[in-house]
């Protein structure tokens, strides 16, 4: 199987909407996920946030047989979101997405990983990144 990764474009919005919704549901279940979603949305709903990320050229998509199965959102030097559908995990999509981001002229230098998200932490560690920040909040 060949993993194809490319910059997502606004016409991809409909195909990515389901993945985006799945990622939001998964994120919300993690400790700290709700707070991260509030920060990423910046007062917008999920559809607006997706459209804005596409329009800004911040979203990369991973395709399998031409169908989007994952995406990475890089904003302001940070991998803000990295998601691959459950059925397509452990096939190299996340790693390919991160590699594509790192090959950009202004690659990200940080990535979010929620508490207990060992898969994201392991992926980031595999490219040489180290955990360096823990954010604490009231409430």
Please state the separation of Cα 68 from the chain's center in Å.
13
Mean predicted confidence (pLDDT) in 3-15:
90
Domain boundaries, the chain: 4-126
CATH number, domain 4-126: 3.40.630.30
Q: What is the pTM for the complete model shown?
A: 0.88
**42-80 pLDDT tens trace:** 777 888 899 899 999 999 999 988 889 999 999 999 999
Do the Cβ atoms of 93 and 77 come closer than 8 Å?
Answer: no
Mean predicted confidence (pLDDT) in 101-125:
90
pLDDT the model gives residue 139: 63
Instruction: Compute the distance between CA of residue 133 and CA of residue 55 in angstroms, rounded to an integer.
Output: 29
Among 114, 120, 111, 131, smallest CA distance to 32 is for: 114
């Amino acid at each position: 199987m060949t993993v194809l990764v490319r910059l997502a474009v606004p016409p991809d919005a409909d195909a990515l909407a389901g993945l985006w919704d799945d990622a939001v549901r998964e994120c919300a279940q993690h400790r700290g996920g709700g707070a991260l979603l509030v920060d990423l949305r910046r007062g917008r709903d999920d559809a607006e946030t997706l459209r804005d990320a596409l329009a800004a050229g911040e979203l990369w998509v991973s395709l399998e047989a031409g169908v989007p199965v994952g995406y990475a959102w890089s904003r302001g030097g940070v991998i803000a979101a990295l998601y691959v559908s459950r059925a397509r995990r452990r096939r190299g999509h996340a790693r390919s997405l991160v590699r594509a981001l790192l090959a950009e002229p202004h690659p990200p230098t940080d990535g979010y990983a929620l508490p207990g998200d060992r898969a994201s932490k392991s992926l980031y560690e595999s490219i040489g990144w180290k955990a360096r920040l823990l954010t604490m909040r009231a409430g």
